[in-house]
Chain A
Amino acid sequence: MASNKNHAAQARAGNHGHDGHHDLESLRLMGFWIFLITDCILFGTLFATYAVLSNSTAGGPTGAEMFEMPGIIAETFILLTSSFTSGLALLCMNRGDRKGLIGWLAVTAALGACFIGLELNEFVHLVHEGVTIGTSAYWSAFYTLVSTHGIHVTIGLFWMIAIMIQLGKHGITPVTRRKVNVIGLYWHFLDVVWIFVFTVVYMMEVM
């Protein structure tokens, strides 16, 4: 129903420039790209903070003493794989395969949930060892940077679920197509940020 209306609107808007649905979807995609720039700066500021405070352990434990790398490497592979599966979802969408699209999105979300689970596990482990956000400036920066990424992933999960429901209801329309494109961008972006987290926070600390 809604998709019919959208197509009609698109057809009407087709021949005159800058309003109507089709252009609206491209506007939204551009708006999202600009939002990603702002998110880049947000993470950039957190990375800078982490860099400034990376030696401020106030005599307490350092990251190198506390990190357990196997779990973190597993997290990394899971998140990288989920970027790949979100790409497969996009391929399905471009083929018009709704079932495949929803299926691959579900796999992506499941991998994302695993990532969050492992991250929470790491935090719980650290807190048990006695390292909290209040231990020193270093750990304040660590928890804030890593969990900001984690919160982003969590929001992405709920968002993806909402989009899967909408795909089930409306099918692949210009609107849902844009929504899938946007969540795909968001997911890849978080992956890139994680690569930086992995390198700056974990690798540079333990190497």
Chain B
Amino acid sequence: MWQNIKDFAADFFVTGDPLIYGADVAIVLTMSAIVFVLTYFKKWKWLWTEWLTTVDHKRIGIMYVIASLLMLFRGGMDALLMRTQLVMPEMEFLSPEHYNEIFTTHGVIMILFMAMPLMFGLFNLVVPLQIGARDVAFPFLNSLSFWLFFAGAMLFNISFVIGGSPNAGWLAYPPLSGTMFNPGVGQDFYIWGIQISGIGSLATGINFIVTILKMRAPGMKLMKMPMFSWSVLGSCLAIILAFPILTVTLALSFIDRYFGAHFFTLDGGGNPMMYINLIWMWGHPEVYIVVLPAFGIFSEIVATFARKKLFGYKSMVFAIMAISVVSFITWAHHFFTMGSGADVNAFFAVSTMIIAIPTGVKVFNWIFTMFKGKVSFETPMLWTVLGFIPCFVVGGMTGVMLSVAPADFQFHNSYFLIAHFHQTLIGGVVFGYIAGLVYWWPKVFGFKLNEKLGKWSFWFWNIGFYVCFMPQYVVGLMGMTRRVSTYSWDSGWWGLNLVSTIGGFLMGAGFLIMVWQILHSIKFMERDTTGDPWNGRTLEWSIPSPAPMYNFARTPVVEHLDDWWEKKQRKAKGEPEKPLAPLEPIHMPKNSGIPIIMSGFWFLAGFGLVFDWLWMAIPGFLGVFACMFAHSFNYDTDYYIPVDEIERTEAAARGTV
């Protein structure tokens, strides 16, 4: 009996690595601390009613942001572990097996559990406010999306202490990820972690398309909609077209592993190359899904801090839509070496290069917006103009280099590629979302982040970035391939790798300063009483910060692009303001515990399937269906906020003005 338990535990928990034991202790201590604090301060009920069951898009947005910053920390730790291993030739810090696991989890976490939720967090925090809506189209579904992401992320993350991490790369190409070469549970964690959170992403895509198309304030024609909302629309269109492909791809991979099917196997007529086509049909649009909203953020920030209307608004809209469409016909540039022939490669090379055109249009638009503007360099602008634009221009140009099919045979799978995609994803996505976070922070929390620490963080990130990735272009051209866990002294790669590692740690320091900046600002914040600390242009700045639960006391009526700015201009000219409409009761959705419970059942189902425990998986799925039925039969889902309560809330919020 005792021996059985010991055998089980040896399989179940990851053992034999001091780093993992350290993580085990840290996890147990953190969990106990959280439970202790919540119990000691009697906060469980508050947590449940105010946060875990909330359907308020602003709170869901905050939860997304917190979760994604935690994931940024974990993905960043993975990066630093890898850079430590590569700092010198013949290092023995990580074993090759452990290294495989770390680059796999680093990639998955950064794209799917950091970039995506940070993006959804910003969608939730900003879009309804920006289009003058009281909520998203489907508040219940919105909460469900968040909890599905959370369940998926947790399922993926526990793999490193329970069962073992996936190790076949962030896109898990077969046959390496098939049972023949990968019989353990790591790949199953990969499949179910991503599958569960992917369902949530798909739902968010649907939710925000309907929100943007149907819930804009009266008068806000599509061509009067703020740029960030446009970019969200473009991104969501790509989500609904791309994510079903991911769902199918992961499902087929699961069927291969679990039922012994032959989609991607080497025997039985299977075709591993088909997986690579399928995964990139999702994977390529995915990088545009995460970068388009960043483009929207930059557009808002540049216009705000140049005190000018965005240059070429219509061409910006066109560029966003063009990018979201063209991104679907470029996927094969990820494997020019597949052997599909010159004509196919030429098609995908040209379609890839075409994307540079609308992207270039956008860069020129941002620059022309600043031209003759009253430009000021607060932190969000710093991230945009000094961080993003140069970084993305270089990243874009190396991208065009990679898109030249014959040249790609040389760059393929080298560190040149690593440097390129980190340059676009960090320079575009991470810089963009940080800029957005700093920009909208006062709207969400009611105070600005500390400028000085923000600038320090920016410079550490930005300099660290170049120090880290510029050497990688060179070392890639010198022949160092991605995913190698070590190299020899006579390769001549040492110096460049050392510099690169130093850069990685500088970026880590930038992250720490950012955390410090947030904590410092929480402690010494100065409350923003204006609701419009940056002298903004769009509707979200017309209401108090933080926004009241119902967002707008009166439905705003929009007449212009940048309506709030125009209103302020008219007021400054002394034109009389229009009389306010009387307040009316506001229709709001009720909180619901079903999303978090249902996601808990998804977690059980996923965990059960990972370990092949049907006794756990089947009740998990039954629980999911029970939750769906419970929700379908619940007709008591909304309520009205009475006028006197709105008056009280508004008076409290405006009273400080």
Contacts and interface: CB of A to CB of B under 8 A. Distances in A.
Interface stretch (A10-18, A79-87, A104-112): A10-18
A134 interface: yes
Interface string A51-75: 0110011100000000000000000
Contacts of A16: 555, 584
B271 A137 contact: yes
Contacts of B216: 18
Contacts of A57: 269
A30 B138 CA distance: 11
Contacts of B8: none
Interface in A166-190: 166, 170, 175, 179
A23 to B, nearest CB: 8
Interface stretch (B59-67, B202-210, B379-387): B202-210
Interface in B234-283: 240-241, 243-245, 247-249, 251-252, 255-256, 259-263, 265, 267-271, 274, 278
A136 B270 CA distance: 8
A137 B263 contact: yes
Contacts of A143: 261
Given A18-B215, A39-B244, A56-B270, A141 B138 contact: no
B137 A27 contact: yes
Interface residues of A, number: 50
Contacts of A30: 210, 213-214
B406 interface: no
A52 B584 contact: no
A146 interface: no
Interface stretch (B13-21, B188-196, B630-638): B630-638
Contacts of B509: none
B134 to A, nearest CB: 6
B240 A37 contact: yes
Interface string B201-227: 010011101100111111000000000
Given A31-B137, A58-B269, A162-B629, A38 B206 contact: yes
B485 to A, nearest CB: 34
B587 interface: yes
Interface in B545-584: 555, 584
B244 A41 contact: yes
Interface in A131-180: 133-138, 140-141, 143-144, 158-159, 162-163, 165-166, 170, 175, 179
Contacts of A141: 263
Contacts of B205: 38
A137 B584 contact: no
A205 interface: no
Nearest to A137: B269
A56 B269 contact: yes
Contacts of B202: 38
A187 B209 CA distance: 24
A138 B271 CA distance: 11
Given A41-B245, A53-B269, A140-B262, A35 B206 contact: yes
Given A31-B210, A41-B244, A58 B267 contact: yes
Q: Count chain B CB atoms within 10 A of each CB in A9, A37, A38, A52 and give the residue with the most.
A: A38
A140 to B, nearest CB: 4
Contacts of A26: 214
A64 B557 CA distance: 64
B586 interface: yes
B585 interface: yes
Looking at chain B, what size class is its interface with the partner chain?
A: 35 or more
Interface stretch (A42-50, A91-99, A114-122, A191-199): A42-50
A207 interface: no
Contacts of A135: 268
Contacts of A27: 137-138, 210, 214-215
B88 interface: no
A40 B214 CA distance: 23
Contact of B133 (A18, A21, A56, A140): A18
Nearest to B557: A17
A56 B271 contact: yes
A34 interface: yes
A53 B271 contact: yes
B138 A144 contact: no
Contact of B632 (A9, A23, A45, A162): A162
A159 B625 CA distance: 10
A19 B269 contact: no
B210 A137 contact: no
B269 A138 contact: yes
Contacts of A137: 261-263, 265, 268-271
Contact of A12 (B252, B278, B585): B585
Contacts of B268: 56, 58, 134-137, 140
Contact of A38 (B243, B249, B261): B243
A96 B449 CA distance: 58
Given A13-B587, A17-B218, A49-B274, A134 B262 contact: yes
Nearest to A52: B274
Interface string B621-649: 00001000100110110101000000000
A58 B262 CA distance: 10
Given A53-B271, A140-B261, 9 more contacts: A9-B587, A9-B640, A16-B555, A18-B216, A20-B587, A38-B205, A41-B241, A133-B260, A166-B632
- The 8 A-B pairs at the shortest CB distance, nearest first, are namely A56-B269, A137-B269, A140-B261, A58-B269, A42-B244, A134-B260, A41-B244, A45-B248
Interface of A: 2, 9, 12-13, 16-21, 23, 26-28, 30-31, 34-35, 37-39, 41-42, 45-46, 49, 52-53, 56-58, 133-138, 140-141, 143-144, 158-159, 162-163, 165-166, 170, 175, 179
Interface of B: 133-134, 137-138, 141, 202, 205-207, 209-210, 213-218, 240-241, 243-245, 247-249, 251-252, 255-256, 259-263, 265, 267-271, 274, 278, 555, 584-587, 625, 629, 632-633, 635-636, 638, 640
19 contacts: A16-B584, A18-B214, A27-B138, A27-B215, A30-B214, A38-B202, A38-B244, A41-B241, A42-B244, A42-B245, A42-B248, A49-B274, A52-B271, A52-B274, A56-B268, A56-B269, A133-B255, A140-B270, A162-B632
